Each structure stands twice: as C-alpha cells, then as structure tokens.
Amino acid sequence: MTTDGNAHYVYLNPRMGGAIAVAEAARNLVCSGAEPLAVTDGLNYGSPEKPHIYWQLRESLAGIGEACRALETPVISGNVSLYNETRGEAIYPTPIIGMVGLIEKPEQITTIAFKNEGDRLLLLGETRAEVGGSQYQEMLLGSIEGPVPVLDLEAEKRLQACLRTAIREGWVASAHDLSEGGLAAALCESAIAGGKGAVVEIQPGEWEGQLVVEQLAEESADPAEREVLRQLEAELYFFSESQSRVLVSAGPEGAEAIQKLARELGVPCVEIGRVAGSGDEAPLVIQYRGQIVAVQPLGALKEAWQEAIPWLMEAE
C-alpha cells in the first residue's frame, strides 16, 4: 500500500496534478514488486463556494479519473474534506491517493536500497527540464510557479510494464521511483537505505535542459554569468521532477536484460553509474559531462536526512 500526492502540482495545474498523484502511487507499488489494484482518495480543499476552489476540485478529479482509467485502478472508496481555510485563505488543493497492490511471490519484493557493490545503475524514463512546482524551485525562489511536469499516461504504462517484467524475471536489485527532488533525492535515499555509496556519471548528450541553458547563456553579455548558467544544466538534470522515471540497480547480466527489454518496449533507459563502497565513509560521487559536481560521504547524507525536520523546526 502507498499514499501519494503533490499539492504544488495541483495548485499550479489541477488536472495534471491529480493525474500525477495516481501515476506516482502506481509507480511506487510497481517499484516494490506489486501489481496496482485499486484506489482510495482523500480530497482536501478550501471552500467550493469560491469559483477558483470549485475549479481546482473539478479539474483535479478529472485528472484522477483519467489516470485511474488508463492504469486500470478503480476508485473503491474515498473521503472529501472541504472548507479548509484560515482567515479566508484556503490550503493548497491536496488530493491524496491511497493505492493497494498485490505481490504474488515473496521473492518479488523489491526495496529502494542499493544491495551489491558493482551493481549497475540504470535510469528508466526521459529527463526533461521540468522544475515548475518542484522542491528545487521552491528552495531557490521561495515560491512555486510555471508549468508542472507533463505526464504522458501511455509512457507511464510502458515504464510500469517494463519494470514489472524486470522484477518478475529477477533482474532488479533495487528500484526507486523519481518524484520530489528528482534523481538527486532518489540517489541519496537509495544510498542511505542500503548503506552503500555510488559513482554516478551523467553524459546526457543533447537534451532539453542543455538547449535551455545554451539559449540563456547566448543572451548574456557577462562571461561570469554565462559560466553560472552552464553550471545550471547539471542542476536541472539532477533536480528535474520529470514523470515516469525510475532509478534501478542491477547486476551486469540483469542490467543488460533490462536495457534490452526497455528498447523493445520503447522506454528510454541509460546506464548512469555503479554501486561502490559501503559504510558511512563511502562517498556518493556525482559527475556531469566529465566534471565532479558533488561528493558527499554517506554519513553526512544520513545526518542531513535524519535531521531535516528538527532543522526546519528550528528555522521557524
């Protein structure tokens, strides 16, 4: 069972945000080795007597319905909580999707934790320069705005079919869906969970983020600013919250089989590194286009992860 929802997306684009909540829930279950079966939802909004709140509710329900039909996960129960406001200010529109699934065999249970040193790291799905409503955007700007990531339900279905088959065939050592925080967050969480480091080497070729950064750099007359903009490309890649993506670790034979299956199903798949080292001193090394952009030992990552809530409470 899993629960998912991203109020940022629903606030910026209710229909897309509702669909993304369903897709992410199903993706979470598939990553665990389960077959998604059914949905229960909890719908939390402000006063529907206000036109824009009613519109948020109507549109997000439409998105939830579209995704449930596409992924064949019927809604079997739910709850609605309206008039959630303080001094006339509504909460973010927050539909929460609970989804249940079935794991047919115990050996198909899959976790996010890196397992074996030397396992290859694969990124399934396409990465685009999509940071609207993301954690990265909120951290940099202190606000959220712009277009949210686009969900292609047919691409989502192909990804989930690919991963389900790979897990059932025994090719997958770990699987982690990419959502809030993008690839950077998934790498850290899988490394912390498994107590193992990794060396990540991204050579993306030409992609959307590169084109965006190059255009901005060409428009700048300041050499220092152009260099900063070029560094932005790596951040866009690692913190993009593009949908329908999964980080997988697998042994050499399993990785080759997954890549072959992905090609057959039309799912983008690229090898991005390997599991390396164990214990708190083992580093997570991230390289982009041949340059090291981040190096942190597991102990430091674990401490930052465990202390996040106390740090935020003290900051308030």
Known binding residues for ATP are 41, 78
In the block, residue with structure tokens 């629903």: 10
The residues pairing with 38 across neighbouring beta strands, listed in sequence order, are 100
For residue 227 the two structure tokens come to 């260099």
CB 238 within 8 A of CB 200: no
For residue 194 the two structure tokens come to 């498994």
User: Annotated binding residues, as ranges?
Assistant: 41, 78-79, 81
What is the torsional sign of CA 113, 34, 169, 68? Answer: negative
Q: Which residues contact 44 (CB under 8 A, 6 or more apart)?
A: 81, 84, 91, 93, 94, 95, 96
**In 8-47, beta strands by DSSP E:** 35-44
Concatenated DSSP letters for 209-258?
Answer: HHHHHHHHHHH---HHHHHHHHHHHHHHHHH---SS-EEEEE-HHHHHHH
User: Annotated binding residues for substrate, as ranges?
Assistant: 81
- Count of positions (residues) in the chain: 316
The residues pairing with 101 across neighbouring beta strands, listed in sequence order, are 36
Q: Give the Cα separation of 136 and 92 in Å (integer).
A: 18
User: Annotated binding residues for Mg(2+), as ranges?
Assistant: 79
